[in-house]
């Protein structure tokens, strides 16, 4: 069955014939003794196949992001500056918070109040002699220069982590 347009009486199928692709690069032939190098224009089919593959990957990635962002947005996670660990669950060790001025404080759940001092077994002590802090274990009376892992936890807002 052939459809025609009333004004031109031209078959509709002739209006939608695929156009020939433009040649982007002419055939090039170099001859030198017995060596012959020939290049041909890029294949339109290969370009379309690659574009479709890229589009499919982009659509998949967009679907994954659209699914995960609502799940993560607004959720805080916990990061340990000493060990480099991160996790969703609140750690057993006390977690540092920061006030508006960037000063660390901890919430002591046993007392139900906030404190500037770490509520665990470790204390951070300034050494005037060495000009740096050291860490003192109240239970064992051990002193170390390296910050203990128990003191490294902090809460990170997912909104803060997403911003550059």
| pLDDT mean over 156-164 | 62
| pLDDT mean over 133-141 | 96
Residues 50-106: tens digit of each pLDDT: 778 877 787 777 776 665 654 555 678 899 999 999 998 889 888 888 888 988 898
Among candidate residues 67, 83, 95, 110, the one with its CA nearest the CA of residue 153: 95
Cα–Cα distances (Å) from 18 to 4, 21, 24, 53, 131, in that order, read 18, 9, 18, 22, 78
Q: Hey, which bits of the chain come out as E strands? A: 28-32, 35-39, 76-80, 86-87, 96-98, 104-108, 113-115, 122-127, 132-137, 143-144, 153-157
Q: Which domain holds residue 126?
A: 76-158
Establish if 4 belongs to a structural domain: no
Establish if 67 belongs to a structural domain: yes
Establish if 86 belongs to a structural domain: yes
The predicted pLDDT at position 76 comes to: 82
The predicted pLDDT at position 4 comes to: 47
Contacts of 62 (CB under 8 A, 6+ apart): none
Q: How confident is the model at residue 111 (pLDDT cuts 50, 70, 90)?
A: confident
Q: How confident is the model at residue 141 (pLDDT cuts 50, 70, 90)?
A: very high
Q: What's the CA gap between 82 and 144, in Å, rounded?
A: 14
Establish if 96 belongs to a structural domain: yes
Residues 114-131: tens digit of each pLDDT: 888 888 899 999 999 999
The predicted pLDDT at position 129 comes to: 93
The predicted pLDDT at position 83 comes to: 95
Residues 16-63: tens digit of each pLDDT: 555 555 555 555 555 555 555 555 555 666 777 777 887 778 777 777
Is residue 47 located within the same domain as residue 121? no
Question: For 11, which DSSP code?
Answer: B
Q: What's the CA gap between 44 and 63, in Å, rounded?
A: 29
Residues 6-15: tens digit of each pLDDT: 555 555 555 5
Domain boundary among 46, 72, 98: 72
Give me the number of domains the chain comprises.
2
The C-alpha angle 44, 47, 53, rounded to 5 degrees, equals: 140
Establish if 7 belongs to a structural domain: no
Is residue 106 located within the same domain as residue 54? no
């Amino acid at each position: 069955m052939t459809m025609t347009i009333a004004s031109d009486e031209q078959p509709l199928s002739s209006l939608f014939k695929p156009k020939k692709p433009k040649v982007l690069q002419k055939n090039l032939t170099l001859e030198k003794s017995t060596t012959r190098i020939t290049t041909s224009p890029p294949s339109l089919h290969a370009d379309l196949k690659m574009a479709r593959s890229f589009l499919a990957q982009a659509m998949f990635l967009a679907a994954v992001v659209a699914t995960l962002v609502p799940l993560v947005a607004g959720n805080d996670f916990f990061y340990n500056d000493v060990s480099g660990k991160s996790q969703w669950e609140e750690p057993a060790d006390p977690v540092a918070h920061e006030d508006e001025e960037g000063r660390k404080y901890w919430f002591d759940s046993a007392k139900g109040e906030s404190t500037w001092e770490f509520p665990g077994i470790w204390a951070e002590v300034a050494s005037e002699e060495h000009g740096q802090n050291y860490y003192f274990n109240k239970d064992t009376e051990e002193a170390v220069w390296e910050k203990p892992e128990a003191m490294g936890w902090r809460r990170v807002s997912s909104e803060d982590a997403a911003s550059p």
